[in-house]
Amino acid sequence: MEMGTTNTVMWFRRDLRIGDNPALLAAIEEARENGGAVLPLFILDPALIGGAGSKRLAYLSDSLRALDESLLGNLHVMVGDQVDVLKAIIEKHSITSIHISAEFERYGVERDARVESAGIKLIRTGSPYAVAPGRVVKPSDGTPYKVYTPFYKNWREHGWRNPAISPATSEIPLLKPDAGDRNFPQWEVPSGCEISEAGEKAALKRFKYFQENLLDNYDESRNFAGVDGTSRMSAHLKWGEIHPRTLLQPLGSSKAHDVFRKEIAWREFYADVLFNNPRTEYEYYAPQFANMHYDKPGKKYKAWCEGKTGFPFVDAAMRQLLTEGWMHNRTRMVVASFLVKDLHLEWQLGEKFFREHLVDFDLASNIHGWQWTAGCGTDASPYYRIFNPIEQGKRFDPDGDYIRKYVPELAHLNAPDIHEPWSVLDGYLHDYPAQIVNHATERLESLARLQEIKVQKVEYPDPNA
């Protein structure tokens, strides 16, 4: 290194990509101004590793290798406390600053504050969102939104920047790692599981396929669990292998395109809700629901976890989660409703189980998706929405293909029998479990428990009034 030159660090976290990465561009610009180079870094965080399931860790391992390939084999992967790792790198490589994308979840914010309190300079550029949490507020009083629809309207009016220019990797001045800087994890996909392909190239390839083949019918196909009708961008967004602006840029004004835009906005709404209500990471958004009478987890909870409830659509979804680390969005709502309103268990049990198994686990989306379905979240008509697990299957898996794929005990049945195997003589031919509850009975029980805490239907004021 020439005298007087200084280097920068690009600390990758939830932005494992080269394209549309403002923090990386800022690091490159500073390095060039100082005649230095960029050290691309990922720190394996023991705290987060300990809380992640095996499928998510396997995906992360693949994603890091994909990022390293994009960086021409120059990614530094270090293990240890962030402050210790960064201090050692700063001393070794004459680092002037650390470039990052801004974090908004409690753990990330506290981690970055701890790093800065140790005297390490962090430069924040961009975030994992099209519009950062806290930016969209009510024009009337500057307070955050509590309901999605007015949030979406204001989110669109606020707008977002175009995707950042993607640098050519060959033109990035990169610091070469030493042998001791290449601590890539060796996490493998658990036996019997198959997760989706990781990395920025995989994300862009899938999104291109989605644009060309699925996007124009998204509003109709997205709810059908047995077909490839969704974007499958959730894991890529989770790890920042693609930025939401990249997904938003090509969208037009058709109904299908707007429905997809709204799904991206849901992710940003939940991030905003968690940012403004950090207690909801563990607590009820609507505190009165903590007083409801819930059952203790036991055999029925175990059956739910294993996909052996006797309700085919629920079981297919749970088995998809167990084998793929992913679950169709429609069925996420159905299984969540079943846990809370048919089994009368608290939403935190399901949220924790999803946290363990989802490759695309996103803290805000998982927590508030569960609370929305459980009726204690941001839904303007909270607890009264109770999904019928049988009718949901008939409606969103009409031919039974989804059930047939994940519940082989019922593969011999055709629709509509596959949705109600108890109604035909050979429904239990291959030892499919009997129903663990009666849905009609438990629906009434849920409503009765609601009355016990005297929760009435919530009426929110008209946001346009």
Same domain, 254 and 271: yes
Same domain, 77 and 100: yes
Residue that terminates a domain, selected from 242, 276, 310: 276
Q: What is the pLDDT, as a whole number, of residue 379? A: 72
How many distinct structural domains can be found in the chain? 3
Same domain, 313 and 272: no
Neighbours of 328 (CB within 10 A): 23
Does residue 444 form part of some domain?
yes
What would the mean pLDDT of 1-8 be, rounded to a whole number? 67
pLDDT at 463 exceeding the cut of 60:
no
Structure tokens at 44: 């394996």
CATH number at residue 350: 1.10.579.10
Give the mean pLDDT of the chain.
Answer: 94
**Lowest mean pLDDT: which of 2-6, 292-296, 407-411, 414-418?**
2-6
pLDDT at 31 exceeding the cut of 90:
yes
What residues have CB less than 8 Å from 452, skipping those under 6 apart? Answer: 292, 293
Q: What is the pLDDT, as a whole number, of residue 49? A: 82
Which helix or strand (DSSP H or E) is residue 100 part of? Answer: strand 95-100
Q: How confident is residue 4, by pLDDT bands cut at 50, 70 and 90?
A: low
Count Cα atoms within 13 angstroms, Cβ side, for 289: 26
Phi and psi torsions of 443, nearest 5°: -65, -45
Same domain, 309 and 321: yes
What would the mean pLDDT of 405-411 be, rounded to a whole number? 98
Same domain, 35 and 85: yes
Same domain, 38 and 112: yes
Same domain, 410 and 353: yes
Same domain, 80 and 224: no
Does residue 167 form part of some domain?
no
User: Which structural domain, as residue segments, surrounds residue 139?
Assistant: 129-162+200-276
Pick the closest to residue 105 from 226, 281, 266, 228 (CA basis).
281
Same domain, 261 and 294: no
One-letter amino acid at 387 equals: F
Same domain, 228 and 296: no
Does residue 1 form part of some domain?
no
Q: What is the pLDDT, as a whole number, of residue 51? A: 77
174-191: pLDDT as tens digits? 999 999 999 999 999 999
Where does 198-348 show beta strands of DSSP type E?
Answer: none
Does residue 192 form part of some domain?
no
Does residue 184 form part of some domain?
no
Same domain, 313 and 266: no
246-277: pLDDT as tens digits? 999 999 999 999 999 999 999 999 999 999 99
- How far is the C-alpha of 301 from the C-alpha of 280, rounded, in Å? 23
Q: What is the pLDDT, as a whole number, of residue 48? A: 77
**Model pTM?**
0.94
Q: What is the pLDDT, as a whole number, of residue 50? A: 79
Same domain, 101 and 147: no
CATH number at residue 252: 1.25.40.80
289-322: pLDDT as tens digits? 999 999 999 999 999 999 999 999 999 999 999 9
Which helix or strand (DSSP H or E) is residue 79 part of? Answer: strand 76-79
Does residue 71 form part of some domain?
yes
Q: How confident is residue 381, by pLDDT bands cut at 50, 70 and 90?
A: low
pLDDT at 234 exceeding the cut of 50:
yes
34-92: pLDDT as tens digits? 999 999 999 998 877 877 899 999 999 999 999 999 999 999 999 999 999 999 999 99
Does residue 175 form part of some domain?
no
Q: What is the pLDDT, as a whole number, of residue 392? A: 97
CATH number at residue 60: 3.40.50.620
